[in-house]
Chains A and B, each alone.
Chain A
């Protein structure tokens, strides 16, 4: 039994989508690691923006533009405070984690030369692998992989051995999307800095579970996507230390990122606008701020405690099913359960669960190297949020049992 004072019934009322049916059954939404649902409080902010002050920002002289600019910049401050970032201008608003990583990887071309080394953890998703592979192709740098063990934990001894004065950059996710593992980023950041390497932490999967403190972590870059944390899609954050952001060249040209343009030469705007070319996702940025307000009104401590109880309960119930194996059994993990049942293909289980109204993710979760590591085609991934319930776990368990009986 989940014993908690967490008022999940009250919280669920904030999410209108949770009342709908799928395939004639009440929706059980367990694909939160892919995208979280949006509470009414955030939806209202989006509607209010388009109904009342939709305008382009920063350069408009009219009142609507000023209102939109104020709201957008207020959201930046909310993000700054949420992540305890020293300066507002170290918050770059991007389209999301993939954009943020590409921005840094592209900029690092100037700082990496042939023979330099870049370390990547074995449990990255493609967005935190491919941009760095492209960087290596451009520069002749070498990509080295920090291995993981069967539990889905990084082998830290191997990491320390891989580090050297050739290491220019280390990148790692805070939480693995496919396994739920919380990585020891504090140790990674500290050790990397000792050899002079910069560190980028992909915080996309950590965002809904962990309130990361940028100054405390002393990380060089950190990325977040708003849609993982009750916000809209198409907007996210790149945190960068001021010294790095000043050194990195602009990623895209045009719009707000210029100071002065002539056909002879262009000078660039100051931070953060240097990296914010074109019209941004204004409404998205404002709603991102509202999503953080919403999450903070519930409290990350309470969320973490409740999700831990849910994870424990779900793990116990699922492991009671014959032949079910969980991939990713790290001691320190978030509420993600990646599993397979005997020799059944994950797509088959996912298809049956869908007919029962249960939304889970199946496949390689854009993290094929992890699946190669376990030598499996993919997994079924149930990822829980603070608005999920023990009863929904029960529906999932019954659904997996039914699928197993049908498919074996």
Chain B
């Protein structure tokens, strides 16, 4: 499935909920189902800067596709990174680089997060794209 299609799915899922408590509950559920990073990769190098809670992200190539795993010490943050990983994992690096991130605004994620968390979200997106750029460079 393309990144755009997955993003549409996520937007549809979030539009089903009436209020932000339900959306938080859904995010928490997503957090619990996040593909967890291998413990050996939970290093300071893999911590995303800009998040008040800790978020570790690891990326590796599986054939020509980039696979992300992650973890966080806060479950809502875990939910946020889970949404991003669902949108960007198992995709070719170039597709991740080119991907639009407008779906984040569509589900209202940023405006319903505290400013510190919203900054963290921006850092997470940036980090996923940086991994894609790094691996795309290798592939070239």
A interface with B by C-beta (< 8 Å): 23, 344-345, 347-348, 351-352, 354-355, 363, 377, 406-407
B interface with A by C-beta (< 8 Å): 20-21, 24-25, 28, 52-54, 73-77, 113-114, 117
Query: A407–B24 Cα gap in the complex (Å)?
Result: 10
Most buried by A among B74, B113, B114: B74
Say how far A372's CB is from chain B's closest CB, in angstroms.
Answer: 15
Most buried by A among B20, B28, B75, B114: B75
Known contacts A347-B52, A355-B20, then 14 further A-B pairs from the complex at CB < 8 Å, ordered by chain A residue: A344-B75, A345-B53, A347-B74, A347-B77, A348-B74, A348-B75, A351-B76, A351-B114, A352-B21, A363-B52, A377-B54, A406-B24, A406-B28, A407-B75
- Asked if A352 and B53 make an inter-chain contact with CB atoms under 8 angstroms apart, the answer reads no
Query: A354–B21 Cα gap in the complex (Å)?
Result: 10
Contacts of A348 in B (CB 8 A): 74-77
Whether A354 contacts B114 in the complex (CB less than 8 A), given A406-B25, A406-B28, A407-B28, comes out as: yes
- Asked if A351 and B52 make an inter-chain contact with CB atoms under 8 angstroms apart, the answer reads no
Query: A344–B75 Cα gap in the complex (Å)?
Result: 8
From B20, B21, B75, B113, A345 is in contact (CB under 8 Å) with B75
Ordered by A's residue number, 18 sampled pairs between the chains whose C-beta atoms are within 8 Å are A344-B75, A345-B53, A345-B73, A345-B74, A347-B52, A347-B74, A347-B76, A347-B117, A348-B74, A348-B76, A351-B24, A351-B113, A351-B114, A352-B24, A355-B21, A377-B73, A407-B28, A407-B75
Query: A348–B54 Cα gap in the complex (Å)?
Result: 12
Contacts of A377 in B (CB 8 A): 53-54, 73
| Chain B residue nearest to A377 in the complex (CB) | B73
Query: A348–B24 Cα gap in the complex (Å)?
Result: 10
Query: A394–B113 Cα gap in the complex (Å)?
Result: 25
Contacts of B20 in A (CB 8 A): 23, 355
Query: A354–B114 Cα gap in the complex (Å)?
Result: 9
Say how far A23's CB is from chain B's closest CB, in angstroms.
Answer: 7
Contacts of B54 in A (CB 8 A): 377
Say how far B121's CB is from chain A's closest CB, in angstroms.
Answer: 13
Query: A344–B78 Cα gap in the complex (Å)?
Result: 12
Query: A201–B77 Cα gap in the complex (Å)?
Result: 38
Contacts of A354 in B (CB 8 A): 114
Say how far B38's CB is from chain A's closest CB, in angstroms.
Answer: 21
Say how far B109's CB is from chain A's closest CB, in angstroms.
Answer: 12
Contacts of B28 in A (CB 8 A): 406-407
Contacts of B114 in A (CB 8 A): 351, 354
Query: A347–B114 Cα gap in the complex (Å)?
Result: 10
- Asked if A351 and B73 make an inter-chain contact with CB atoms under 8 angstroms apart, the answer reads no
Contacts of B73 in A (CB 8 A): 345, 377
Query: A187–B76 Cα gap in the complex (Å)?
Result: 45
Contacts of A407 in B (CB 8 A): 28, 75
Say how far B83's CB is from chain A's closest CB, in angstroms.
Answer: 15
Say how far A340's CB is from chain B's closest CB, in angstroms.
Answer: 12
Query: A237–B113 Cα gap in the complex (Å)?
Result: 35
Query: A345–B25 Cα gap in the complex (Å)?
Result: 15
Query: A114–B24 Cα gap in the complex (Å)?
Result: 55
Q: Closest 10 CB pairs between A and B?
A: A345-B74, A347-B74, A348-B76, A347-B53, A348-B74, A348-B75, A351-B76, A345-B73, A407-B75, A355-B21
Contacts of A351 in B (CB 8 A): 24, 76, 113-114, 117
| Chain B residue nearest to A364 in the complex (CB) | B52
Contacts of B77 in A (CB 8 A): 345, 347-348
| Chain B residue nearest to A407 in the complex (CB) | B75
Contacts of B21 in A (CB 8 A): 352, 355
Say how far A339's CB is from chain B's closest CB, in angstroms.
Answer: 16
Contacts of A355 in B (CB 8 A): 20-21, 24
Query: A392–B117 Cα gap in the complex (Å)?
Result: 26
Contacts of A406 in B (CB 8 A): 24-25, 28
Query: A344–B117 Cα gap in the complex (Å)?
Result: 17
Query: A347–B80 Cα gap in the complex (Å)?
Result: 13
Query: A344–B113 Cα gap in the complex (Å)?
Result: 18
Say how far A343's CB is from chain B's closest CB, in angstroms.
Answer: 9
Contacts of A344 in B (CB 8 A): 75
Say how far B12's CB is from chain A's closest CB, in angstroms.
Answer: 22
Contacts of A347 in B (CB 8 A): 52-53, 74, 76-77, 117
Query: A345–B73 Cα gap in the complex (Å)?
Result: 7
| Chain A residue nearest to B112 in the complex (CB) | A355
Most buried by B among A344, A347, A406: A347
Query: A348–B25 Cα gap in the complex (Å)?
Result: 11
Contacts of B25 in A (CB 8 A): 406
Most buried by B among A345, A352, A407: A345
| Chain B residue nearest to A402 in the complex (CB) | B21
| Chain B residue nearest to A24 in the complex (CB) | B19
Query: A348–B77 Cα gap in the complex (Å)?
Result: 8
Say how far A349's CB is from chain B's closest CB, in angstroms.
Answer: 10
